[in-house]
Amino acid sequence: MNSSPSPPQEELSIADLQRHIRTMYFEKDVVRGIDGTFMWLMEEIGELAAALRGTDRENLAEEFADVIAWLATIANVAEIDLNKALISKYGNGCPGCSRLECVCPNTEKP
């Protein structure tokens, strides 16, 4: 087991992030299961909601990162490739109107 810290990444694509999270946590995540992992995701969403009401930009950035990391975690446990899912749903533009710049009415969720 490599105990030395990894150098920080300059960029992480969605696919890279999901692999990165899988390498770091998958064994623990599978034991926790989807239900337990979903509860952690919901806790992080609550922390993001609180951070959005505050003024601490560093904390806000951390909470966004936590939500994305836990989303990648639950996708790993559920065996969903986030990159493929995003390309399938949003790769050709808005799922509602199929345009890059959405023209769906504001009353509809694209």
- pTM of the full predicted structure? 0.84
Q: For the chain, what are the domain ranges?
A: 14-79
C-alpha pair distances (Å), 49 with each of 23, 60, 61, 62, 71: 28, 9, 12, 12, 16
Helix (H) or strand (E) holding 49: helix 14-52
Euclidean distance between the first and the last CA atom of the chain, given in angstroms as a whole number: 45
Angle at the Cα of 14 from the Cα atoms of 13 and 17, rounded to 5 degrees: 85
Instruction: Write down the pLDDT at residue 109.
Output: 73
Q: What is the mean pLDDT of each run of 10 residues along the chain (110 residues)?
A: 67 94 96 96 98 98 98 97 96 93 85
Among 1.10.357.140, 3.30.930.10, 3.30.470.10, 1.10.287.1080, name the CATH number for the domain at 14-79: 1.10.287.1080
- pLDDT at position 82 is 97
* Sign for the pseudo-dihedral over CA of 48, 110, 14, 25: positive
